[in-house]
Every structure is written in C-alpha cells, then in structure tokens.
C-alpha cells in the first residue's frame, strides 16, 4: 500500500478520482487551494485508489495522508 500525502497545507478544492479508480504515476488525485493558488496532488506510483481520506472542503496540513493506493 502507498500513502499519498499533501505537500503543503490548504483546503481540498476538488477531488478528481474516486475509490476503485486505477491511477498511474504522476496522475493528479486532488487539487488543494492555498493562498488563492490551485496545487495538484499527484501520486508517485501506479495503483488502485483504495481509500480517500479527505472530502472536498476539508483542510489538510503538510504531510497529512489524503489517499491510500493498493
């Protein structure tokens, strides 16, 4: 299993995958909004989205786990 973590603090603006989706390395999973900028959070690995740990509107801190891949 692979944990995908937020690389900065911000609000979850949009989630672009759903649980069960197949994803590839470099693919965006969600987009954070911070300081009026949109920051995509991508996976570094191929896999299947097992669990999304956040929902749109949630606030995350740098290092928080936002998704788990298997």
| pLDDT value at residue 62 | 96
The full set of domain ranges for the chain reads: 2-69
pLDDT of residue 41: 97
Confidence of residue 37 (pLDDT cuts 50, 70, 90): very high
Number of H helices, E strands in the chain: 0, 8
Could you give the CA distance from residue 34 to residue 25 in angstroms, rounded to a whole number? 24
In CATH terms, the fold of domain 2-69 is OB fold (Dihydrolipoamide Acetyltransferase, E2P) (2.40.50)
Cβ-Cβ contacts under 8 Å for 9 (sequence gap 6 or more) = 34, 59, 60, 61, 62
Any alpha helices (H) in 1-70, and if so which ranges?
A: none
pTM: 0.90
In whole angstroms, what is the distance from residue 52 CA to residue 4 CA?
10
């Amino acid at each position: 299993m692979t944990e995908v973590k937020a690389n900065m603090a911000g609000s979850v603006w949009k989630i672009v995958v759903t649980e069960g989706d197949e994803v590839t390395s470099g693919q965006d999973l969600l987009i954070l909004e911070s300081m009026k900028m949109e920051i995509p959070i991508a996976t570094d690995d191929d896999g299947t989205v097992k669990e999304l740990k956040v929902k749109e509107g949630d606030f995350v801190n740098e290092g928080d786990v936002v998704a788990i891949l298997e």
